[in-house]
Amino acid sequence: MKNLAPAIFPPEGIGDAKPGNKAVLDWVHEIATLTQPENIFWCDGSERENEFLIAESLKQNVLIELNQKKVPRSYLHRSNPNDVARVEQFTFVCTPTKQEAGPTNNWSDPTETYAKLRGLLAGAMRGRTMFVIPYMMGPEDSPLTKVGFEITDSKYVVLSLRTMTRMGEIALRRLGDDPNAEWNRGVHSLLDVNPERRFICHFPQDNTIISVGSGYGGNVLLSKKCLALRIGSYLACKQGWMAEHMLILGVESPEGRKHYVAAAFPSACGKTNFAMLIPPVHFKGWKVTTVGDDIGWMRIRDGRLYAVNPENGYFGVVPGTSFKSNPNAMQSIAHDTIYTNVALTDDGDVWWEGKDGEPPAHAIDWRGNDWTPQSKEKAAHPNSRFTTPMRNNPALDPDVEKGEGVPISAIIFGGRRSDTVPLVCQAFDWDHGVYLGATMASETTAAATGAVGRVRRDPMAMLPFCGYNIGDYFQHWLDIGKRLTNPPLIFNVNWFRKGADGKFLWPGFGENMRVLKWIIDRSEGSGGALKSPIGWLPSPHDLDLAELDIDHNAVDELLGLDHEEWQKEIAAHKEFFDSLGGVVPEELQKQREQLAAGFEL
């Protein structure tokens, strides 16, 4: 069975970084008593420890060494073919009542779920090493920063978390010795990587996560979706801040005026590409820098929203990444990267669909089978991933470690829609912006198991990640707006609209700078716009389209509203709100009525 490696016994000085906090020690003791590991490995995140774990992972085939000349210090991991994406159907929010988890989460009773999980975990680590990983989410000196511990029996998780979080000593320092300090308890065991025993369970009231039966990133790197979003959003609502599925980027004009923008797109809709955007030649002197590519934590300071990226690395979708689509990502993943489920070429390099250049004549596909360009199967899994440190990104924003965060001028929502939704529009005000976010929809992607290409409502791109009742989440957004004296403007974008021929109307990638520029203009109080029932729309001449090879008709279509499509869209908003069973705040219902009235004129 893949991924299930025997215990490892490290030499002196490795694997013995025991924390001082008694609450942590008691919890580790409790989990070890339950899971019965062969030994306990206390991770410190050091270089020496990392080298040791990589060497052991290579011996046990958890990692495959790549050609170190082509991709230095980089490795390939293959997950079990039954375990390649997040499993939303097996993801649970275990609040005392079903109502607290709300209509969009799978709920299960905490007492029963703990009992079931304890049964599955009993003796689960026999013959294995139990790793205890201390980690920190957020910059060292941020008031938003959280400490978590993940117990796992997977070396892949340890190696990945070292990239994705600030791991080791730094987290122990932040936690200190106070047994009552707030910290997240995460328990992960591969068990036998069996989909029948795969559960990702969150206990928000206990700040606890238990994940079993999977070895795939989003299910097992508990820092990310589980802590930073599901538990994070619950804590954020209780503590008055925001935990969002958002990239954060900086954009600086040639004159040196800088803005930060946060953008929520569903999984695999180009957040990483947008966060690392390189402006086209026409925008000489403009610079885009990355604060984060997936998660934004935001708090109010002086009436404004300030954001930090809680993560320390990128866990990005590989297929489609190229020097054309994202040169900064290509540079980032050229070294010190763990690849999961991509293809291996005969010269020890990695390959995936959409990479620059010709496909290799022969490769080993993500399952470990021979592959040639004639093969029917894809060489890389559509949800194959890179795990790479944010430090590798040549466009990393200089303020990424700033504890107070970066001030947000604009929030962007966006989904993958072939029709109906224009390239960009601006909300009339905060509450209308919340409505745009709440009714967002997107065609589904390979990031989660299930059908691909189906339009589903995905409010604020948080449908799979909001750890409490979605109605309360909407209300939290509205409440935050009331506390902001200088709120960011809110926009909606759609890079994915298609023409009658089924082809994308907008070139996307670096050219999205043209839309970003309009968003910045609007945030600075300039930039033309026309009022429409769905918000402020640019007319074609409000967008800088110079030196862009695009047809006038395509621009008209991109910015146009089709009356019939919008009638259907508004009906779908109503259907969605109705499906939530009465939890939607009155304010958003009113927004919907106003929108509908706008189309009746």
Q: How far is the CB of 399 from ligand OXD (least distance, A)?
A: 23
Chain residue at closest Cβ approach to Mn ion:
294
Question: Which of 269, 338 has the CB closer to Mn ion?
Answer: 269
Give the phi and the psi of residue 309 in degrees, each rounded to 5: -95, 115
In the list 27, 75, 315, 468, the residue contacting ligand OXD (rule: CB under 6 A) is 315
447 contacts ligand OXD (rule: CB under 6 A): yes
Q: Which does 57 bind (CB under 5 to 8 A by kind): ligand OXD, Mn ion, none?
A: none
Q: How far is the CB of 455 from ligand OXD (least distance, A)?
A: 18
Q: Which does 315 bind (CB under 5 to 8 A by kind): ligand OXD, Mn ion, none?
A: ligand OXD
In the list 150, 294, 542, 557, the residue contacting Mn ion (rule: CB under 5 A) is 294
Identify residue 445 by its one-letter amino acid code. Answer: T
Q: How far is the CB of 441 from ligand OXD (least distance, A)?
A: 16
C-alpha 458/C-alpha 462 separation (Å) is 6
Residues 81-140 that bind ligand OXD (CB under 6 A): 86
* Residue 57: Cβ within 10 Å count: 23
Q: How far is the CB of 249 from Mn ion (least distance, A)?
A: 15
Q: Evaluate whether 473 touches 393 at the Cβ level (below 8 Å).
A: no
Q: Which does 447 bind (CB under 5 to 8 A by kind): ligand OXD, Mn ion, none?
A: ligand OXD
- Residues that bind ligand OXD (rule: CB under 6 A) add up to a total of 6
- Whose tokens are 């300039």? That residue is 526
For residue 120, count CB atoms less than 10 angstroms from its CB and return exposed for 0-12, middle for 13-18, buried for 19 or more: middle
Q: Which does 433 bind (CB under 5 to 8 A by kind): Mn ion, ligand OXD, none?
A: none
Token pair recorded at residue 81: 């073919």
Stretch near Mn ion under the rule CB under 5 A, chosen from 164-172, 266-274, 517-525, 593-601: 266-274
294 contacts ligand OXD (rule: CB under 6 A): yes
Stretch near Mn ion under the rule CB under 5 A, chosen from 278-286, 287-295, 401-409, 473-481: 287-295
Identify residue 364 by its one-letter amino acid code. Answer: I
Question: Which of 364, 466 has the CB closer to ligand OXD?
Answer: 466
Of 164, 96, 92, the residue nearest 135 (C-alpha): 164
- Whose tokens are 């039954």? That residue is 82
Chain Cα centroid distance, residue 346: 32
Q: How far is the CB of 232 from Mn ion (least distance, A)?
A: 13
Question: Which of 44, 293 has the CB closer to ligand OXD?
Answer: 293
Q: How far is the CB of 220 from ligand OXD (least distance, A)?
A: 12
Active site residue 269: yes
Token pair recorded at residue 399: 């303020």
Q: Evaluate whether 265 touches 274 at the Cβ level (below 8 Å).
A: yes
C-alpha 115/C-alpha 134 separation (Å) is 26
Per-residue binding string, ligand OXD, 574-593, x by CB under 6 A, is --------------------
- HSE, side-chain direction, 13 A CA sphere, residue 257: 8
C-alpha 49/C-alpha 168 separation (Å) is 11
Question: Which of 294, 443 has the CB closer to Mn ion?
Answer: 294
Q: Evaluate whether 436 touches 411 at the Cβ level (below 8 Å).
A: no
- Whose tokens are 């944010």? That residue is 390
Beta bridge partners of 305: 300
Q: How far is the CB of 447 from ligand OXD (least distance, A)?
A: 4
Strands of 166-286 (E only): list them: 166-167, 184-189, 199-203, 208-212, 242-244, 247-252, 258-264
Q: How far is the CB of 502 from Mn ion (least distance, A)?
A: 27
C-alpha 116/C-alpha 118 separation (Å) is 6
Catalytic residue among 43, 201, 269, 425: 269
Q: How far is the CB of 476 from Mn ion (least distance, A)?
A: 20
* Residue 224: Cβ within 10 Å count: 26
Residues 71-90 that bind ligand OXD (CB under 6 A): 86
Number of residues that make up the chain: 601
Question: Which of 31, 85 has the CB closer to ligand OXD?
Answer: 85
* Residue 369: Cβ within 10 Å count: 12
Residues 185-224 that bind ligand OXD (CB under 6 A): 218
Q: What dihedral do alpha carbons 364, 366, 371, 372 form, nearest 10°?
A: -110
* Residue 56: Cβ within 10 Å count: 18
Stretch near Mn ion under the rule CB under 5 A, chosen from 52-60, 289-297, 403-411, 540-548: 289-297
Q: Which does 309 bind (CB under 5 to 8 A by kind): Mn ion, ligand OXD, none?
A: none
275 contacts ligand OXD (rule: CB under 6 A): no
153 contacts ligand OXD (rule: CB under 6 A): no
C-alpha 276/C-alpha 286 separation (Å) is 13
Q: Which does 198 bind (CB under 5 to 8 A by kind): Mn ion, ligand OXD, none?
A: none
Of 442, 424, 426, 436, the residue nearest 266 (C-alpha): 442
Token pair recorded at residue 508: 């996307």
Of 188, 185, 231, the residue nearest 465 (C-alpha): 231
Question: Which of 201, 268 has the CB closer to ligand OXD?
Answer: 268
SS3 436: helix
Q: How far is the CB of 88 from ligand OXD (least distance, A)?
A: 10
Question: Which of 21, 267 has the CB closer to ligand OXD?
Answer: 267
Chain Cα centroid distance, residue 599: 35
- Residues that bind Mn ion (rule: CB under 5 A) add up to a total of 2
Q: Evaluate whether 195 touches 82 at the Cβ level (below 8 Å).
A: yes
Contacts of 127 (CB under 8 A, 6+ apart): 6, 7, 38
Chain Cα centroid distance, residue 42: 27
Stretch near Mn ion under the rule CB under 5 A, chosen from 54-62, 67-75, 260-268, 535-543: 260-268
267 contacts ligand OXD (rule: CB under 6 A): yes
Q: Which does 110 bind (CB under 5 to 8 A by kind): Mn ion, ligand OXD, none?
A: none
314 contacts ligand OXD (rule: CB under 6 A): no
Q: Which does 218 bind (CB under 5 to 8 A by kind): Mn ion, ligand OXD, none?
A: ligand OXD
395 contacts ligand OXD (rule: CB under 6 A): no
Q: Which does 86 bind (CB under 5 to 8 A by kind): ligand OXD, Mn ion, none?
A: ligand OXD
Identify residue 274 by its one-letter amino acid code. Answer: F
Chain residue at closest Cβ approach to ligand OXD:
267
Active-site annotation, residues: 269
- Residues found near ligand OXD in the complex (CB under 6 A): 86, 218, 267, 294, 315, 447
- Residues found near Mn ion in the complex (CB under 5 A): 267, 294
